[in-house]
Structure formats: C-alpha cells, structure tokens
Amino acid sequence: MSDAQPPDRPSPQAAPDQWPAPAMAPAPIGPAPAAPVEIPKRRLHPLTPLLESFRLLIAVVLASSWQMYIRENAAFGVAIAVFAGVFGAFSGLLSWLYTGYRVVGGELQITEGVLIRKSRTLPLERLQGIEVAQPIRARIFGLAELRIEVAGANETEAPLSYLKLGEAHAFRKELLAVAGRGRAAEEPDEPEPEAGTPIARVGGRRLIAGAVLEYLPPTLLVFAVMIGALALLTWMLDSADAEVNLWRFGAVPILFGLAGSIIQMVTSILRNWNFTLSRADRRLRVERGVTEKHSNIVPLSRVTAVSVELPVMWRLKRWRRVRVSTASIAQQGTQGADGGDLLPVGSVAESEHVAGTAMPQLEWRELAAVLRRPPRRARWRTPFTWKIRGAGLGEDVFSVRYGLMKTTTVAVPYARIQQVEVTQGPLQRLQGLATVRARIAGSAAHDAAAVHRDAAEAVAIAAELRVRADAAAAREAPRLS
C-alpha cells in the first residue's frame, strides 16, 4: 500500500495531547478537501441495459431452446424469447433513463431506480482507488466500468458501468482530481520500465494437463451422481415410457453442466497461456494471454496473503498453484477472482520459490511444521477435511490449511492482519470449540479462519495474533510512513 496510497497517512496535527481529539468522521483521512468541483449529471452508455442483462439474456435463450426441445414446439420458445426481449428492452430503457451520476460538493452521486429512487453517495475525499476494468462482455463493445473504492465502505460499491473506455479514463482522472489526488492519476497505468528477472514460466502442455486434472474429478463426480440418480429413478419407476421421458429430460441439464465445465476448463487454459512471472525491484509482474498480452503488476508491499492450492488430482504430479491477494480493488471484481495467480501450475520447488518471492519473510517449507490439527472431538464436524485442516502461528505469518478437493494453505503476515475475531456457535460451545478469524484488507473471501479449534486454544491464538500483529506493525512503521 505504500506506493498507491501515501495520502492516507493521518494528518500529523491529531496529536495525543489534544484531548478530546477532533472527530474523525467529519474530517476523514486524506488531504484537505479540494474546492468543490461540480460535474454535471451524465448518463451511462446506452448499451448498458443490454450488457447488464447479459446473463439474463443467455438464460432466456437457454430457457426458450429448452422449451422448444421439450415441447417440440418452436412457436412457444419464440414467444418466450420475444416476450422476454420486449419486456427486457422496455425495462432496460426505463432504467437507463433514470440512472445518472454527477459530482456535487466533493461527492459522487449515483442515482438509479424507476419506481423506488435510490441514490448512492460516495465521498470522494475518502477515495482509496479507482480502476477502469473491462469485463469481456464490455470489451466487445469497447466499453468499460469504473470500480470505485472508498475507505470504510461497507462492501465494494457496485461499479459504475458502463462507460466508453476513453470516457471512463477521463472520468477517473476527473474524480482523482476532485479527490485531490491529481498526481496519483498517472501512477497505476504507467507501464513497467524495466523488464525484470523472470521467475517462473508455465508451458502449454503443463497448463493443459493441470487444467484437465483439476476439472476432471469434480466433473466426473457430478456426471456420475446425475447418471446414477437417473438410473435409480428409472429402476424405481420401471416403465418404458417414463424411462424415455426421464432420460430426455435428464440429458439436457447433464449436457449443459458438462459444457459449462469444459468451457471453464478451456478459459482457465487460455487465460494463463504463455504465463510468465518476473520480478523487478519490489514488484512482481505477471504476463499472460494468447494473442494480446495481459499484464498486471503486484507490488510486494501490497500483498496481504499468499496461498498455495493443491487440487486433489495434482497430488499425482506433485504440482501446486500459488496465488496472492492484495489490497487492491481488482481482487474483488470479476477479473480479480482470476487475477491473483502468481503461478497457475508448477512443481513444489517452483511454488516454494514463487511463494517465497511474494512474501520474502516466508519460509514455506517450515510453515507446514507449525500447522496443527483441530482437536479430535471436532472430527465429526468436518469428517473429510479434519486431517487436512490445520492452523498455526509461524515466525512471521498466521497460516491456515483447509479443503479436500482443493487443499489450500493460506499465509497471512502478522503485519497485514486488520482485526481478529473469535466466534462460537451453539454446537461448538457444547464441544468447547471456537473459530478464530484473522481479517485482512479487502473482501472476506481471503480471510484466514482457523475453524473448530479448542476454545482455550482459539482464545490463545487470538491473543497471540494481536500481540504479534502489533509488534509486526511497529517494526514496519518506518517503511510505511
């Protein structure tokens, strides 16, 4: 976070001797508010409703073709499609007409809603970052969405989507200017000057093998379960007529599911094609893509957690995947779900090297030694993963392991822990168990949670986490300021 958000340091005038100190909410973190800039009301791009209902559109197409298939009646399917199309177009047009955004008095206001007017207000002085993102459906039309992150917002606000790409970049600059962060405007898009030293490359064959091994078992499992269920039903009904219908009805979801998982597999291969990870100074640079190169940069100082994943079939090949989460907003968007890969598939040695590079203080090999299983009485709570689950306090990181189909080991440096929570459900209380959760910046998906620990141990872990987090943060303070 040191390079992207230096203005977030507190203003030094809030010294401890001024008591009671000025309230924080009215005069938040950040630079002095700029002179109120007004940006008049604008509308989103007219194609927005079409893109917003992209998924719905696919669902409608599927539903109508399904109806055609089942009823052998083309007219009915067409009727559904036409009706949905007309209805969708009308409601889309209305919602587009009633959606607008403007900047008033240092706040970005987004109004929407036809019947119930809704207005979202984002105080720009608390701005943490803006990203211009292009999901695939938007890229087709040359559009983009703006992801705006505001300190302390409950969740990542819904993005401002969609705008023309150029417009989005221009508006981003304007917003940054309003927020008094003019110089931050050119920082993130800057291309990396030096090439850096390559750390890891992933070849096509290994990528394909990895993807197949990863997606095959769950697909086969689902396939087998569904076929089995159908066979069972057929046997129970025991009628030739019902059998034919049953298999006809059942085949479609199975085929759709199969197609879905194949598509998922292929996209995961294409996404990481020509994957190269290199290091330049204190940044990691990921390059990948089939025709056009996508590259993203992970500043080492922004890494909040490193995780190593081991899908179940990869045990055969002793392969690992390494991912990081950072405090940036891209992590929480649609791209972010895939954006954290530092090594899509690699050997144990490679994964240790990459994980060690991403978090220099981390000794991955020693980490496995500190992991402890939950107590035996917790076994029936998670019968399959009890052996896998573990949590432990490492030298510099809190580490947690979980998951059967994809065994994941997460390491969170003490200095990155935001807050610590101990929770206990009614069943856990009966058993004397509790869960400790170390929350890091960003969405809750990346938190490290030690599930079903002994209550006394959980409390001890929480206390220790707090002490170590304070110590680590104190050691780090000179670097951050």
Our finding on whether 458 is near another protein (CB under 8 A) is yes
Structure tokens at 219: 């697909």
Which is closer to another protein, CB of 1 or CB of 63? Answer: 1
What span, in angstroms and rounded, lies between the C-alpha atoms of 271 and 339?
Answer: 10
CB-based burial, 411-447: b 16+ in 10 Å, e otherwise = bbbbbbbeebebeeeeebeebbbbbbbbbbbbeeebb
Our finding on whether 434 is near another protein (CB under 8 A) is yes
Q: Which residues are within 8 A (CB) of 179 and not within 5 positions of it... i.e. 6 or more apart?
A: 30, 31, 34, 124, 125, 127
Which is closer to another protein, CB of 394 or CB of 442? Answer: 442
Our finding on whether 469 is near another protein (CB under 8 A) is yes
Our finding on whether 422 is near another protein (CB under 8 A) is yes
Indicate which single residue of 50, 246, 418, 449 sits in contact with another protein (rule: CB under 8 A): 418
Strand partners, 110: 101, 120
What span, in angstroms and rounded, lies between the C-alpha atoms of 203 and 212?
Answer: 14
Indicate which single residue of 72, 116, 154, 195 sits in contact with another protein (rule: CB under 8 A): 154
What span, in angstroms and rounded, lies between the C-alpha atoms of 398 and 453?
Answer: 14
Report the candidate in 84, 85, 125, 83 with the shortest Cα–Cα distance to residue 103.
125
Residue with tokens 């598939």: 345
Q: From start to end of 89-208, where are the E strands? A: 100-104, 107-112, 118-123, 127-133, 143-150, 160-164, 197-202
Phi-psi region of 30 (alpha: psi -120 to 50; beta: other; left: phi over 0): left
What span, in angstroms and rounded, lies between the C-alpha atoms of 101 and 294?
Answer: 30
Which is closer to another protein, CB of 387 or CB of 429? Answer: 429
Indicate which single residue of 29, 50, 348, 388 sits in contact with another protein (rule: CB under 8 A): 29
Sign of CA dihedral 27, 30, 32, 35: negative
Q: From start to end of 333-402, where are the E strands? A: 341-347, 390-393, 397-402
Angle 69-71-76 from CA coordinates, rounded to 5°: 95
Q: How far is the CB of 249 from another protein (least distance, A)?
A: 31
Which is closer to another protein, CB of 153 or CB of 233? Answer: 153
Residues 71-130 that bind another protein (CB under 8 A): 126
Indicate which single residue of 89, 266, 349, 456 sits in contact with another protein (rule: CB under 8 A): 456
Indicate which single residue of 34, 50, 153, 209 sits in contact with another protein (rule: CB under 8 A): 153
Which is closer to another protein, CB of 316 or CB of 430? Answer: 430
Per-residue x/- track, 278-317, another protein (CB under 8 A)? ------------------------x-x-------------
Q: Which stretch binds another protein (CB under 8 A): 10-18, 42-50, 107-115, 137-145?
A: 10-18
Q: How far is the CB of 95 from another protein (least distance, A)?
A: 26
What span, in angstroms and rounded, lies between the C-alpha atoms of 449 and 435?
Answer: 7
Residue with tokens 């976070």: 1
Indicate which single residue of 185, 208, 370, 420 sits in contact with another protein (rule: CB under 8 A): 420
For residue 472, which phi and psi values (nearest 5 degrees)?
-65, -40
Strand (E) or helix (H) holding 306: strand 303-311
Which is closer to another protein, CB of 17 or CB of 241? Answer: 17
Indicate which single residue of 343, 415, 448, 451 sits in contact with another protein (rule: CB under 8 A): 415
Our finding on whether 419 is near another protein (CB under 8 A) is yes
Number of chain positions touching another protein (CB under 8 A): 68
Our finding on whether 334 is near another protein (CB under 8 A) is no
Indicate which single residue of 271, 389, 416, 452 sits in contact with another protein (rule: CB under 8 A): 416
Strand (E) or helix (H) holding 479: helix 455-480
Q: Which stretch binds another protein (CB under 8 A): 151-159, 169-177, 208-216, 350-358?
A: 151-159
Q: Which stretch binds another protein (CB under 8 A): 38-46, 216-224, 266-274, 439-447?
A: 439-447
Sign of CA dihedral 314, 383, 409, 331: positive
Is 449:436 a contact under the CB 8 Å cutoff? yes
Our finding on whether 444 is near another protein (CB under 8 A) is yes
Indicate which single residue of 10, 105, 142, 203 sits in contact with another protein (rule: CB under 8 A): 10
DSSP 441: S
Q: How far is the CB of 65 from another protein (least distance, A)?
A: 35
Our finding on whether 460 is near another protein (CB under 8 A) is yes
Our finding on whether 440 is near another protein (CB under 8 A) is yes
Q: Which stretch binds another protein (CB under 8 A): 11-19, 43-51, 74-82, 168-176?
A: 11-19
Our finding on whether 426 is near another protein (CB under 8 A) is yes
- Interface residues with another protein (CB under 8 A) are 1-2, 5, 9-11, 14-16, 18-25, 28-29, 126, 151-156, 302, 304, 327, 332, 415-416, 418-426, 429-432, 434, 439-444, 447, 454-456, 458-460, 462-463, 466, 469-470, 473, 476-477, 480
